[in-house]
Structure 1
Amino acid sequence: MLMQTLSAARDLGRLNTILGVLIRHGFGDSVRRLGLADTLEKAGHALHWDHAADLARLPPPVQVRLALEELGPTFVKLGQILAGRADLFSPEWITEFEKLHSQVPALPLDDLRAQLVQDLGQQPEAVFKRFDTLPLAAASMAQVHGAQLQDGTEVVVKIRRPGITETVAADLRWLAKLATLAEAQLPLLKPYRPQQLVRELTRSLTRELDLASECRNAERIAANLAQMPWIVIPRVHWAFTHERINVQDRIVGIAGHQLDLLDQNGYDRQLLARRGANAVLKMIVEDGFFHADPHPGNVLYLPGNVIAFIDFGMVGRLSRRRREDLLNLLLGLVERKPEAVADVLLEWTGDEQGVQLETLEGEIEVFVDQYYWCATGATEFGTDAERCHRHFA
């Protein structure tokens, strides 16, 4: 029956690669329990089981992170999504997932030229006053080149990697099948909801592969934050932007993790923190539409304590109901009402079976007591949170 779930023969090679990487990183037993080893052997694909000795000595979170990196962009993106699921994974797992980056060797411009000519209508050197041959950055989905428009505006040109959509589509087909098998054959994985995670990944990658969609996201968030002059979103140049390419103003600033440069250049870190927090709260709580990948490379600090957000390939959405729930949860924490926090958490889980309400409320109260007096002190924290509730509710 399992053979009937296999896709076209072209996908079998990719499955062979995926399972080979899992075996090499110490997950051979899981591959056997899924029944996929026998399936591949029947299809004429041999798996090698004798290369996992050194890697198997690594801690499991490290093994998984290395495996995801080796498997490429789809799996790296899966790990990045998992990095935000502290509700499912312990801190040591989250730490490893947060190390996942999509940086890969850049493609030569000649490999991109045919696609560029199709999208721009002519050679990039004819469209732009200057087009940099060497990229500014290269990631698994796309790479970015600097350029200058004919009017002298400095821009970045983001170019989707040729063939990436086919690779991602094949990976997503296999991930969906593996998730179904995992829930059926590996009960320990069921609480992690692998099928739901794959659906979430599919939605995210589908949007991220459309570079024009990224620009629509940027413009929507720019409009939402227009009343915050200390927030900058790069301008989109729609005349050159399509599904496989986008062109935006180039933003030059201090990257989010370069705190020493902030101090050296006289930036006010507390002011930056307040401005950044206000922008994030507005995106999430008021607008329900927010930047979902704000790692240090996507946040830049500019003179005048201005903050720039770039790269809106990943965005998040919250319904009005969920935003109200979030506000109630935050207010419950501020007012030290563990029962209100527990009510929201139980509603989010959708399953109260086996939950000891008194125990849950007690753990929430311990959590609040542990952090309530940290950092800003109770008065400032409580005042700010209550003000946020009154403003956004």
Structure 2
Amino acid sequence: MFRENSKFRRIGGISRVLIKHGMGDTAGRLFRRNRDQTEEDADGTGLSGKIAFPDPRRIRLALEDLGPSFIKLGQLFSTRADIFPPEYIEEFRKLQDSVTPEPYETIRSIVEKDLGKTLEEIFDSFDTEPIAAASVAQVHSAVMKTGEDVAVKVVRPGIDRMIRQDIRLMYQLAKRIEKTFELGRVIGTVNLVKEFERTVFQELEMPIEAGNIQKFSEFFRLINEIHIPKVYWELTTKSVLVMEYIPGIKVDQVEEIAANGIDPKEVAMIGLRSLSRQLMEFGIFHADPHPGNTIVMLDGRVSLVDFGIMGYLDDETMHQVANLFLGYAEHDYDMIMEAILDAGLIHEDMDLKNFRIDLKDISEPFYGRSLLTISIKDVYDQVIRIVLKHQIRLPRNLLLLLKTMVQTEALGKILGSDASIFQVMRPYAKELLERRYDPERMLQMIGRDALKASEYLRSAPRLLHKLLSQLATGRHRIELSLAGFKQLDKQLETGVNRMVVGVIIAASIIAGSLVLNSKQTVMEFTVNFFGEQTITLTALLGVLGYTIATVLGFMLIVQIIRSRKL
């Protein structure tokens, strides 16, 4: 009962927000009782033809007012440029999840409850004011008893429960949106909520973020220009993450970076090399490299922080991305098309000729230009335009990759870099492709494939026995539909008929020859044809055989010539 009351209160709150932002008609459509909606749809035209999808700015403002869950949902929308029109993407990108921080006493109680000790027992000092506050968590600086500076990230209390409640409501809204708006059906709002549900709870699990930090620390342990903060695992729980505090300068503070004797262009190159390694060596990338998450340390190193949003690439996708980058770097459209085909983004049934033309049209204007003169955002917009035109659905990780490249390019421009992202990635892509044909790696792949094949062979008898058992008991039946047999039947019939005619022709010729060459005569009679002539019946039958063979042979030749299948 309490849950139902809470649900109705939330619906009422959403309705008020929609009305506040001029979407009262939308609220009425979404929350009207089903029977009322059915009456209006009785003519069969549906609602989609009677109401337009709301203005993108109004949607963005409404999402901001609806709170953390809906802000996070809108931020997910901003990465799905393959399904949302450009004007909506621009608005969704403006969504900010900075909110009023939780009181210090609330944060204190969470930390002490999770760690089982008082703050004074764990830390030498703990700042009461957060250094960052977002919709999911907030961060406080502290000093360990050992003197180490740390950052303490604490998940907001009750955020898990609130998001779960909102997701249940989102599913209901998504279903109604698909019924109400044509665009809702096209973009698949229910699937978007499912994707949101899969990803949002990972940001609430501090051990997951700690694990991501640990992975990056291992990957970059031999690379001096990148620093990854240390994780204090003994102080990390479901709701609390304690990690090394990184002092330094935000990457967009160019004057301050230069004032400390650090070359901003070199900082940009470090960022490009870091992204290249993430994509071409590690198969995992930091998917939110905005200025607040990229710190320039005073010794010139660059540190990444906030590992809540990550992208993952398996081996196959890494090679496809490498081929794509290498194809662009070497101006090789055959390699580019092959990489896109291998990735399953396009298929043979599409109009590949026109797709290639469109791909070349959007790519050629960018060749030979430096990063300063190329906007990756423009490239991104062109890519999305061709994606929408050819109705291609991009996987989420590739969309995250495009978004990450846009953000990295933006940081490069802020730092005054004139480097080409494709040229920087080129050697890493080549090395990745060369590693694929390393003998040791190939043996590993062969061994893995052999193991998989042996598993298939071992399970085949069991699966066959199961299938035959089900057939014997009548629980399943096999229906064979062999397409093309009617045409084959017709072709066989024609061929057999021609063969029979050929046999008759051959038999008539042989029979005629035998009769004409026979010494025996039957029924001689005289005819007055160019004088009196004596003709036997055997000779007449021989001539008749030759005549039949000639006529049939002529007809057969004409039929074969007309069929154009000599």
Name the TM tier (shorter chain): 0.7 to 0.9
1:109 match: 104
Asked whether 1:262 is paired with 2:302, we answer no
Q: Pick the aligned partner of 1:323 from 318, 324, 327.
A: 318
1:234 maps onto 2:229 in alignment: yes
Distance in 2 of aligned mates of 1:361 and 1:221: 37
Instruction: Specify every segment of 5 or more residues in structure 1 that has no aligned partner in the other structure, as ranges.
Output: 1-6, 43-58
2:59 to 50, 54, 64: 64
Structure 1 position 390 matched with structure 2 position 421: no
Unaligned runs of 5+ in 2: 38-53, 375-418, 434-566
Q: In the alignment, is the contact (CA less than 8 A) between 2:370 and 2:420 conserved in 1?
A: no
Task: Give 2:124's match in structure 1, choosing from 126, 129, 142.
Answer: 129
Q: Residues 16 and 40 of structure 1 are in contact (CA less than 8 Å); yes or no, is this contact kept in structure 2?
A: no
CA deviation string 1:353-387 (max 9, x = no partner): 99543332222112211111221699977654442
Shift of the alpha carbon at 1:22?
2.8
Matched, 1:25 2:21: yes
Q: Does 1:146 align with 2:136?
A: no
How large is the RMSD of aligned CA atoms in angstroms? 2.9
Cα offset, 1:74, TM superposition:
1.4
Query: Alpha carbons of 1:201 and 1:364: their partners in 2 closer, same or farther (altered >3 Å)?
Result: same
Write the letter of the residue equivalent to 1:390: K
Indicate the percent of aligned positions where both proteins have the same amino acid.
32
Give the drift of 1:333.
Answer: 2.2
Counterpart position of 1:73: 68
Residues 165 and 381 of structure 1, relative CA distance in 2, 3 Å threshold:
closer
CA deviation map 1:294-333 (0-9, x unaligned): 2211111112321100011111112222222222222332
Q: Distance in 2 between matches of 1:28 and 1:328?
A: 50
| Preserved contact between residue 131 and residue 145 of structure 1 (Cα < 8 Å) | yes
Distance in 2 (alpha carbons) for counterparts of 1:178 and 1:348: 33
Deviates most, 231-240 or 182-191:
182-191
| CA distance in 1: counterparts of 2:59 and 2:193, whole angstroms | 16
| Aligned-partner residue type, residue 260 of structure 2 | N
Q: TM-score, normalised by structure 2?
A: 0.60
Query: C-alpha separation between the residues in 2 aligned to 1:288 and 1:391?
Result: 14
Matching residue of 2:188:
193
Larger radius of gyration: 2
Cα distance in 1 for residues equivalent to 2:307 and 2:263 = 26
Partner residue of 1:12? 8
- The correspondence of residues 298-377 of structure 1 with structure 2, limited to 5 A, is 298-338=293-333, 340-342=335-337, 344-345=339-340, 356-375=351-370
Q: One-letter code of the match for 2:311?
A: G
Cα pair distance change 1:156/1:382, threshold 3 Å: closer
Contact 1:146 1:157 in 2 (8 A): yes
SS of 1:135's equivalent? coil
Aligned 8 A contact 1:335 1:382 in 2: no
> Which segment is superposed worse, 173-182 or 159-168?
173-182
State whether residues 230 and 275 of structure 1, in contact with CA within 8 Å, keep that contact through their aligned partners in structure 2: yes
Question: 1:145 touches 1:158 (CA, 8 Å); kept in 2?
Answer: yes
Q: Kindly tell me: are residues 384 and 213 of structure 1, through their superposed partners in 2, closer, same or farther at Cα, counting changes over 3 Å?
A: closer
**Alpha-carbon deviations, 1:130-169, whole Å to 9, x = none?**
1111221211111111111101111111111111111111
What is the aligned partner in structure 1 of residue 267 from structure 2?
A: 272
